[in-house]
A and B are shown apart, each in its own frame.
Chain A
Amino acid sequence: MSRKSERLVNLTIALLATSRWLTKSEIYRTIDGYSGDLDAKERMFERDKEELRKLGIEIEVGSFDPLFEDEVGYRIRPEKYKIQVSKLSEIQFSLISLATQMWRGAVLDSQANSALLKLKSLGIESDDEGLSLNPQRLDVSDENLLHIIDAISSKKVISFGYLNRDSVTQDRAIEPLGVGTKNGFWYVGGRDLDRKEIRLFRLDRFSSAVKDQGRASAFETPVDFSMSDLLKSQAREKQCRIKVRTDKAHALRKFSSLISSEDDWDLVDLSYASENQLLRDLLWHKDDVKVIEPEELVRELEKALERIETLHG
């Protein structure tokens, strides 16, 4: 079992140490572990290259003599292999160290740890500056998250089962662009291939394992894409005018601006994102809120109340 890891390490050493292109035949000859007939060696080598690529190690392919289209050669450039962040201050290192602690026990725990190890290997000392923060845990054990992160970075389309409003699984396919958390929920942002627009998907509504579709680099990320903007975009851009009973409807007051107050009521302008959610929120607060404007909203509310009464009548 350790033969394969041995071979991968030897291959990496050989490709890093060489000052010129190494051909396949040279590789098979000098590196332990390439055995069997030529076909077997070829297959082994292809798989090894793929494994190293997954580890983020870029193997360059070139040839000696462009005129003769000779046998191709391989190498790894040390400048590309090594870590780019060499100049980290002590305080920056401490920040990263704290950042990695957030993953204790969760799905990217070992990656966070290996990231920290690499930085430690740069020889940077930690400077706590008394940063005793209370690290919260990024509590997610969802294996889909790892898969999604890989697809985002290799720019592969993914497909998955997703629960629709009626709790029925639908097949969705997206170009994944980003991941994030908001209010305790995990979200994936991506371009929905059917609806042809960028949407958010909640990770806990995925009803199946995520699958790759097709090759890497299948799409481009829009230049101005920002996951944090997308998450905020549950943006409350519309407004309505309502009356709110004094000391009530705290959940709505958060998104309201006061116009005037009298007796038991405050007149406010409430900002909201979706009509559906607004209706729910207003109904939830029962007769502690009264809609003033727009008319259509009042009608929607009255229709909803009629529906409820008829059902329960």
Chain B
Amino acid sequence: MAKRSTPMEKAARLLDLVPFLYKNQGISIEMLAKEFGVDREEILSDLNTLWMCGETRFDLIGLEFASGYVYIRNAQAINLVRSLSTQEMISIFFGLDLLKDELGDQRPDLLKEIETLKSQINPELSSKVSANQAVSASLLEEIDKAIASRSLLEIQYHSVADDKYSTRIISPIEKVRRDGHDFLIAFCTVADSRRTFRLDRISSAKVVDLSSPSIAAPDEDESRISVTLKVHANARLLNETFDKCRELGDDKYQVEVFNTSWLVREIIASAGDFELLEPLNLRQEVVRQSRAIALQYR
């Protein structure tokens, strides 16, 4: 919390304190500090500064807080709730958009309320902002439930490398966020080791009890292998596709992957932008699979 405010931030807070205190006469200093998101020292400094303010030198704002509870008087001129700043409005619009996503079709009445709110607050500004959820709230809820109760989760997962949906039983450990995506780290009961699942590839999740049978063995190879690639174009895509990219110079990169079939797909998909240099067997695999595709058209 305690980040020292700039004079401007402080001035904004002082102005907002007045109408808030008028509405909440007798609020404790602790509660006041909490509401304003600052520590006790800062709010006391605020109250002391506010105490020195007023219409003239002889007509100061009346503040009483020695008792630990705050009372205000004689500040009617600024007993007005200040208009929302652009940043404040935008923060609300983003949040409302995400809420809309969560509510989905379940509460059309609330969806309507949200639209009304946006146009009440600032219709022009609301058209400049748009947010949407990457992962459904009900899915997150189920996952959170499983983590909290240490239960097993049955998930339908789109395995990108093999391009198929598979059902797995996992023991979720924690959610993490990396590079703009959410992941679930879990213990895969059949593979008997930790796996990482991208949340937006889980199409469904259900808490199951221990007596449920385990289903589907994953096909992934768990050990990482190191490959060397050469970039002929689109280096940005390389950095965004592969996690651990080490530049070797001369447009060559070393990359570590878990899943070689996924790697071969990405190389082929790059249509010649990426060249797999080593290991040789994978390089040959690229040729073999490209030929198989080309054969379809002969």
Contact = CB atoms under 8 A, between A and B. Distances in A.
A10 B53 contact: yes
Q: Which one of A131, A138, A153, A291 has the greatest number of beta carbons of chain B within 10 Å?
A: A153
A133 B86 contact: no
Interface in B53-93: 53-57, 75, 77-78, 80-92
B197 interface: no
Given A83-B84, A115-B91, A298-B297, A133 B102 contact: yes
Given A166-B233, A204-B179, A98 B132 contact: no
Interface string A147-176: 001101100000000011111100000000
Contacts of A305: 290-291, 293-294
Report the contact-size class of chain B (Cβ under 8 Å from the partner): 35 or more
Given A10-B54, A112-B88, A227-B128, A136 B94 contact: no
Interface stretch (B112-120, B147-155, B209-217): B112-120
A74 interface: no
Secondary structure call for the A interface: helix
Interface in B4-42: 7-8, 10-16, 19-20, 22-23, 35-37
Interface string A271-313: 0000000011101111110110000001001101111110111
Q: Which of B127, B275, B286 has the most CB of A within 10 A?
A: B127
Contact of A133 (B99, B117, B239): B99
- How many A residues are at the interface, by size bracket? 35 or more
Interface string B118-136: 0011001101111111110
B290 A309 contact: yes
Interface in A105-158: 108, 110-115, 117-118, 120-123, 131, 133-136, 138-139, 146, 149-150, 152-153
B287 interface: yes
Contacts of A291: 297
A85 interface: yes
Interface stretch (B187-195, B220-228, B264-272): B264-272
Given A115-B84, A312-B275, A9 B50 contact: yes
Interface in A38-53: 51
Contacts of A118: 16, 19, 81-82, 84, 88
B37 A312 contact: no
A284 B266 contact: yes
B233 A165 contact: yes
User: Which 3 pairs show the lowest CB-CB distances between chains A and B?
Assistant: A99-B95, A180-B130, A307-B272
20 contacts: A8-B11, A9-B53, A13-B77, A16-B77, A30-B57, A56-B85, A82-B80, A82-B82, A88-B120, A92-B116, A99-B92, A99-B94, A118-B88, A153-B90, A167-B235, A183-B134, A228-B130, A250-B164, A280-B270, A305-B294
Interface of B: 7-8, 10-16, 19-20, 22-23, 35-37, 45, 48-50, 52-57, 75, 77-78, 80-92, 94-96, 98-99, 102-103, 110, 113-114, 116-117, 120-121, 124-125, 127-135, 137, 140-141, 144, 158, 163-165, 177, 179-182, 200, 232-239, 265-272, 275-276, 283-284, 286-287, 289-297
